[in-house]
Amino acid sequence: MISHGNSYGDNDGDNTLAAPSEPEVTGSHVVVFTEGGNRTDAAQTLREVAGLSGVARSTEFESSAMDLSATEDADAVVFDELGIAVVTADPDQLAALRAAAATDSPVLSIEPELMHYALSIGTDPRVEAEAASFGDTAELTWGLQATKVTTSACSGFGVKVAVLDTGLDLTHPDFEGRAITAQSFVPGAGPQDGHSHGTHCVGTACGPKSPSGTRRYGVAHKADIFVGKVLSDQGRGADRSILAGIEWAIVNGCQVISMSLGANVEAVSVAYETVGSRALASGSLIVAAAGNNANRAAGNMGFVGPPANSPSIMAVAAVDGALGLANFSARSNPVIGGQIDVAGPGVGVFSTVPVPTRYGSKSGTSMATPHVAGIAALWCEATGRTGTDLWAVLTQQARRLMLPSLDVGSGLIQAPA
């Protein structure tokens, strides 16, 4: 089932653990509850079905901002809004849950909890050589030109954008005065970014229109920013942190949720498909990086992994400045939901990094994803559309490219006029 790893080894070139070619599991399991079954009493179901006694619930925390470090002794953590739980169970308890999932019970599925990784690429010369036609100028980075952000009248004003990643450098001067709500879902850590991946993604999605002393790199420059730290300072995080961040973003009314992370698994996750579907029903669109597990120059096309391979989560591929496909960008795979939906600028992307460096360029489907998230916020502002309707306008307005839809879906994301 698993056949590919990161084409270039290290994900980020500095402080990142590379995504392993084989799936990494935590030993816990993700339990999904049926929509009409027992979402509001999932804790009771876990007690009755599997005898799990120590159950923590997201509704016990203000705005569902679950402190996972306070739940370490619990047998299960329940995300009430999502209708999902992460459980630590013995073999008999797991057998009881699996038996329940096979019957007409409130338990829909159970699957191993995965570790996910930030999906950016290090400073490999093959990547650097891909940047071409659109180039950075003194005023603008190339991706904003290619997606027509530079000529859009929209700013993302009134739209809430959540970036679930390694956090944000909250001391960065480019975000001074912005409406930022920050929360960590990594036990024992605050939302401050000790990596740089998250700061780079937040910068692309929501950075300023006129940064001091450098070119523009941000898309939705007036959006309300929600920073959810779901990956550690090593760029890795378990399902429970990611699910906690999604629940928090939905409860806070975020219309757009950006996730530049993933795992090298081909099968669709019932948990993430359920989450994506319930998010759309709540008016939240989740966009996610397709994956960097291709090496096209060597004939390896890769595949879209979770969470992006969920039918209800928008999968984003990466193109370079010549509007050609990035060598590392994963191709659609045959599983339902395994298709690429749109593409975004993902090679040599200029954005913020933590001070004192302040700015830098990165590559990856991670970098393409916040372009889509920011432009989704512009379309949300322009049309008032959310959820499935927002998804539709993004794909309808994408620029068709001379590339297979297997690789770029509907094409390159475009901003409203």
What digits encode the pLDDT tens for the residues 193-238?
A: 999 999 999 999 999 999 999 999 999 999 999 999 999 999 999 9
The type of residue at 133 is: S
Mean pLDDT for 303-328 is: 96
Architecture of the domain spanning 118-124+132-397: 3-Layer(aba) Sandwich (3.40)
Q: Kindly report the CA angle at 248 between 346 and 315, in degrees rounded to 5?
A: 30
pLDDT of 378 higher than 60: yes
Among residues 28, 23, 76, the alpha carbon closest in space to that of 52 is found at: 76
At residue 178, the pLDDT reads: 94
pLDDT band (50, 70, 90) for residue 379: very high
* pLDDT tens-digit map of 269-278: 999 999 999 9
Helix axes 197-206, 365-383, angle to 10 degrees: 30
CA distance 288 to 302: 16
**Helix locations, 207-292, DSSP H:** 239-251, 270-281
d(CA 369, CA 131): 18
Across residues 317-336, what is the average pLDDT? 94
pLDDT for 125 equals 52
Closest CA to 258 of 277, 221, 284: 284
Give the mean pLDDT of the chain: 90
Q: Per-residue pLDDT for 22 more than 80?
A: no
Q: Which two tokens stand for residue 214?
A: 């450098």
For residue 356, whether the previous peptide bond is cis, meaning omega lies within 30 degrees of 0, is: yes
Whether residue 69 is predicted with pLDDT greater than 80 in this model: the reply is yes
Residue 346: pLDDT over 70:
yes
Rounded CA separation 327/246 (Å): 30
Cα-Cα-Cα-Cα dihedral sign, residues 135, 136, 139, 140: positive
DSSP 18-86: PPPSS--EEEEEEEEE-TTTSGGGHHHHHHHHH----EEEGGGSGGG---GGGGTT-SEEEETTTTEEE
CB 76 within 8 A of CB 52: yes
% of the chain exceeding 70 in pLDDT: 91
pLDDT value of position 216: 98
> Catalytic pick from 195, 197, 200, 221?
197
The pLDDT-based confidence of 21 (bands split at 50, 70, 90) is: low
Q: Which two tokens stand for residue 70?
A: 């306070």
**165 catalytic per annotation:** yes
Average pLDDT for residues 113-132, to the nearest whole number?
Answer: 65
- In this structure, are residues 165 and 353 in contact, taking their beta carbons and an 8 Å threshold? no
Residue 305 exposed, middle or buried by CB count within 10 Å (0-12, 13-18, 19+): buried
- Tokens in use for 386? 């959310």
Q: Is the dihedral of CA 164, 170, 174, 177 positive or negative?
A: positive
Identity at 200, one-letter amino acid code: H
When pLDDT is averaged across residues 333-362 and rounded to a whole number, the result is 95
Question: What is the distance between the alpha carbons of residues 28 and 46, in angstroms, rounded to a whole number?
Answer: 14
The whole-angstrom separation of Cα 210 and Cα 296 is 37
DSSP state of 134: S
Give the C-alpha separation, 67 to 163, whole Å.
18
* Section 350-356 average pLDDT: 97
DSSP symbol at 327: T
Catalytic residue among 366, 371, 407, 410: 366
Q: What pLDDT is attached to residue 2?
A: 23
- Give the confidence band of 130 by pLDDT, cuts at 50, 70, 90: very low
What pLDDT, on a 0 to 100 scale, did the predictor assign at position 133? 81
Q: Does the annotation mark 366 as catalytic?
A: yes
Q: Taking a C-beta distance cutoff of 8 angstroms, is the pair 26, 291 a contact?
A: no
Asked if 152 is an active-site residue, the reply is no
- Give the integer Cα–Cα distance in Å for 121 and 226: 25
What pLDDT is attached to residue 42? 85
pLDDT for res 40: 59
- Cα separation, 26 vs 236, in Å, equals 12
Question: Is pLDDT larger for residue 104 or for residue 106?
Answer: 106
pLDDT of residue 5: 32
The mean pLDDT value for 5-18 works out to: 41
Strand partners, 390: none
3-class secondary-structure state, position 202: helix
**Tally of CA atoms within 13 A in the half-sphere of 374 that contains its CB:** 33
The one catalytic residue among 12, 80, 136, 165: 165
Is the pLDDT at 361 greater than 50? The verdict is yes
